[in-house]
Amino acid sequence: MRPATIALALFVFVGSAHAQQRCEWQAVGAGLDGTVYALASFDDGGGAMLYAGGRFIDPATSAVSFIKCWDGTSWQTVGGVSDEVYALCVYDDGGGPDLYAGGKFLTAGGLWAPGVARWDGHAWSGLGANLSGEVYALESLDDGMNRVLYVGGSFNEAITSAQNLVRWDGSTWSPAGAYGWQSPDGPVRALCAIGFGGAETLFVGGSFYYVGGGIVANNIARLDGTEWSTMGAGTNSHVYALEWFSHPAAPGLYVGGLFSNVDGLVAWHIARWNGGNWSTVGGTDDIESAVNALLVHEQDGEPCLFVGCEFVPHASHTNPAMWNGQQWADVGGGLPLSTISAMTIHDDGTGPALYVGGDFDTWGGAPSANIARWRCEDICRPDLNNDGTLNFFDVQAFLQAFSAHNPIADFTGDGQFNFFDVQSFLQAFSAGC
């Protein structure tokens, strides 16, 4: 297309466009010296901070800690927990929100707190539980009267005579279900509360066979109040992650794990439950390794599902991968040689961003020990001279860049320079910034 033709098109075309974003991976300080198993954003009244649970070793002193927090400029140790932390959750028992930690520790702040403890931003407290084992999942749920906290893992709880899943209402422990013997018969690894109007429903995933004292569930089940129900024939292996994604094209509960089959359907490591039936995600374009974490986060103004996986060589998807409701998309190149265990959304004052934790050394080619941030910011693409105003000089800059085949004029991102780039530029220019 000749410049004269382009110039004419610039003055006759009128269109509309959506906001553009520039996204990139960023390091979070110097990172963390140890695997991250859990992430949560918590505001104790002094501003939101990012908390990371795992096992961390100070390279200077060799001191071991199990929870760190990021204040926006540096990492701080949150001392007092005696062993590894696998789950973090913010829960309000009516007295204000606190941060709850689950793991394989026995004490917190010098207090007896086997498996689960509460942090108010200043001090630890136990919850009076008598857990013998490890906690892997925490979830806050509205039961129609109050908010309660569900605690899942691989344990026995002496007070309730329950195993692997119990609930805390802020003062009392009780079984999940009518009786302790109705608990899942194997480890609970993932919990997700979803509201369908009124009381929320709890979805439970893990490595169990029975729920409800004899109902065959196969690693995933639904709990409505005290009533257990199955979800088809379940999965053929472990479930590690659950997330509700309400995208209009494919709404439902998304399930990740080590499985390859769901309710008789071949589905490698990720599947969708729409309330009555299972389906694959992406058809035959499967995720090649176990899915450890799922989280909905906005990208380019639209909600997307981010999928964190185990390390796998020669993967066709980035790690994390992103599902926009219709197809898979790259996430800034990612890093195939990584394991992602946790994801959360946190705003350090510069806008919400996706934080990813696990076991890795780099993101986007830059050093980033075990934790990284995926940050997006709105940009004004047609403001090519970067003066903050859209006018003739931006049109002139586009024409010059287009004629020179400068990549900034490739508005469609297809590596070619043609009418569609002009059309895309005009849409963005007409929409303004």
The three state secondary structure string of the chain is: CCHHHHHHHHHHCCCCCCCEEEEEEEECCCCCCCCEEEEEEEECCCCEEEEEEEEEECCCCCCEEEEEEECCCCEEECCCECCCEEEEEEEECCCCEEEEEEECCCEECCEECCCEEEECCCCEECCCCCEEEEEEEEEEEECCCCEEEEEEEEEEECCCCEEEEEEECCCCEEECCCCHHHCCCCCEEEEEEEECCCCEEEEEEECCCEECCCEECCCEEEEECCEEEECCCCECCCEEEEEEECCCCCCEEEEEECCCEECCEECCCEEEECCCCEEECCCCCCCCCCEEEEEEEEECCEEEEEEEECCCCCCCCCCCEEECCCCEECCCCCCCCCEEEEEEEEECCCCEEEEEEEECCEECCEECCCEEEEEEEEECCCCCCCCCCCCHHHHHHHHHHHHCCCHHHCCCCCCCCCHHHHHHHHHHHHHCC
Q: Residues 171, 207: one domain?
A: yes
Q: Average pLDDT, stretch 353-367?
A: 82
Report the greatest alpha carbon distance in the chain.
82
The tokens for 328 are: 């898979």
Q: Which pLDDT belongs to residue 6? A: 43
Q: Which pLDDT belongs to residue 364? A: 60
30 dihedral zone (left: phi>0; alpha: psi -120 to 50; beta): alpha
What's phi and psi for 182, nearest 5 deg? -90, 0
Asked whether residue 299 is domain-assigned, the answer is: yes
Asked whether residue 176 is domain-assigned, the answer is: yes
Asked whether residue 74 is domain-assigned, the answer is: yes
d(CA 96, CA 91): 8
Q: Residues 249, 374: one domain?
A: yes
Q: Residues 109, 192: one domain?
A: yes
Asked whether residue 195 is domain-assigned, the answer is: yes
Provide the sign of the torsion angle of the four alpha carbons 268, 272, 273, 278, taken in this order. negative
Q: Residues 222, 128: one domain?
A: yes
Q: Residues 422, 340: one domain?
A: no
pLDDT classification of 366: cutoffs 50, 70, 90:
low
Residue 139: which of 205, 71, 49 has the closest Cα? Answer: 205
Q: Residues 223, 335: one domain?
A: yes
Q: Residues 179, 45: one domain?
A: yes
Residue 138: which of 42, 250, 236 has the closest Cα? Answer: 42
Q: Which pLDDT belongs to residue 5? A: 44
197-209 tens-digit pLDDT: 678 999 999 999 9
Q: Which pLDDT belongs to residue 17? A: 33
Q: Residues 325, 388: one domain?
A: no
pTM for this model (two decimals):
0.85
CATH value at residue 47: 2.130.10.10
Asked whether residue 327 is domain-assigned, the answer is: yes
pLDDT classification of 337: cutoffs 50, 70, 90:
confident
pLDDT classification of 335: cutoffs 50, 70, 90:
low
105-163 tens-digit pLDDT: 999 999 999 999 999 999 999 999 889 999 999 999 998 889 999 999 999 998 889 99
Q: Residues 194, 296: one domain?
A: yes
Q: Residues 322, 398: one domain?
A: no
Last residue of a domain, one of 379, 394, 421: 379
Q: Residues 214, 280: one domain?
A: yes
Asked whether residue 18 is domain-assigned, the answer is: no
Tokens 């990492």 correspond to 75
**Residue 290: exposure state from Cβ atoms within 10 A (0-12, 13-18, ≥19):** buried
d(CA 269, CA 257): 5
Asked whether residue 111 is domain-assigned, the answer is: yes
Asked whether residue 370 is domain-assigned, the answer is: yes
Q: How many domains does the chain have?
A: 2
Q: Residues 291, 420: one domain?
A: no
The tokens for 184 are: 């899942």
Q: Average pLDDT, stretch 292-311?
A: 91
Domain that holds residue 397: 3-13+383-431
Last residue of a domain, one of 361, 379, 397: 379
